[in-house]
């Protein structure tokens, strides 16, 4: 058995996996956006993404069972095909694009969206505009999810303004990312990312997956919808700040 033996890595990886699981179970997809950047403080971002992917797939099986029947089918018909396009595009560029640029773009988008939500008047879009918005953010979510498992912020930008019931919101996210993450296994495998070290490390962290999902699901069931939405927006904003900060540190004079 060969796996990462750096204690500092596990100091970061254990909370990262638990946080990602909680995001799957009920805190919203944006929460998990901090997991790869947090793990990337100890290992390469691509390696962090590779280690997380099998764990995330186990989480997805759990959440799709928990939320079976609790999702918005018309929305999924828009965003899932778009995500497949984004995953395909992201796979072609996997490893050839500086992750810092992706983090910076994602961070700016997430911060801007939250500021617009908090300080602007709500504008109702036509059905055609809404469909185009769904295709756009679906592609962006597929792309960013492929590189840093951070598809939560862009897809949240499309879903949050719809004000779904909290269970429908998280259930829709569960189905969306469940399908997307299993598709991502294909390019990751073909690109040779799953070596023995990464797979054994994933296996060592795997028992944390159901724990994180269960905690998140408990919070969803026992919390108010208003508080949940408020929390998701706050986490989305903090995730955006974290992603942008990490990117600027990497690209700036202190890198």
The 10s digit of each residue's pLDDT in 83-132 is 999 999 988 887 677 778 877 876 787 787 788 778 765 555 556 678 99
pTM exceeds cut of 0.85: no
Residue 201 has pLDDT above 90, yes or no: yes
Which of the given ranges, 24-38, 158-172, 195-209, 231-245, has the highest pLDDT on average? 195-209
Q: 206 near 55, Cβ under 8 Å?
A: yes
Is 15 inside a domain boundary?
A: yes
Is 135 inside a domain boundary?
A: yes
Q: 142 near 97, Cβ under 8 Å?
A: no
Is 2 inside a domain boundary?
A: no
Domain that holds residue 192: 7-251
Q: 38 near 15, Cβ under 8 Å?
A: yes
- Domain count along the chain: 1
User: What is the longest distance spanned by two Cα atoms in the chain?
Assistant: 56
Residues 28-55: pLDDT tens digits? Answer: 666 666 777 778 778 877 788 889 999 9
Is 54 inside a domain boundary?
A: yes
Is 1 inside a domain boundary?
A: no
Mean pLDDT of the chain: 83
């Amino acid at each position: 058995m060969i796996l990462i033996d750096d204690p500092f890595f596990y100091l970061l990886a254990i909370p990262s996996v638990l946080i990602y699981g909680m995001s799957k179970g009920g805190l919203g997809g944006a929460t998990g956006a901090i997991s790869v950047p947090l793990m990337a403080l100890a290992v390469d971002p691509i390696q962090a993404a590779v280690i997380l992917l099998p764990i995330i797939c186990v989480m997805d099986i759990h959440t799709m069972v928990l939320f079976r029947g609790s999702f918005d089918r018309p929305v999924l018909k828009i965003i899932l095909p778009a995500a497949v396009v984004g995953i395909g595009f992201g796979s072609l560029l996997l490893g050839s694009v500086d992750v810092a640029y992706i983090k910076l773009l994602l961070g700016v988008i997430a911060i801007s969206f939250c500021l617009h939500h908090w300080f602007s008047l709500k504008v109702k879009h036509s059905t055609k505009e809404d469909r185009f918005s769904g295709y756009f953010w679906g592609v962006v979510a597929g792309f960013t999810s492929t590189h840093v498992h951070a598809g939560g912020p862009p897809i949240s930008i499309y879903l949050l303004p719809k004000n779904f019931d909290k269970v429908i919101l998280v259930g829709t996210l569960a189905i969306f990312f469940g399908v997307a993450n299993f598709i991502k296994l294909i390019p990751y495998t073909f690109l040779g990312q799953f070596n023995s070290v990464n797979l054994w490390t994933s296996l060592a962290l795997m028992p944390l997956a159901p724990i994180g999902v269960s905690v998140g699901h408990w919070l969803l069931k026992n919390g108010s919808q208003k508080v949940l939405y408020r929390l998701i927006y706050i986490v989305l904003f903090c995730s955006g700040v974290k992603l942008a900060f990490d990117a600027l540190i990497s690209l700036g004079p202190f890198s």
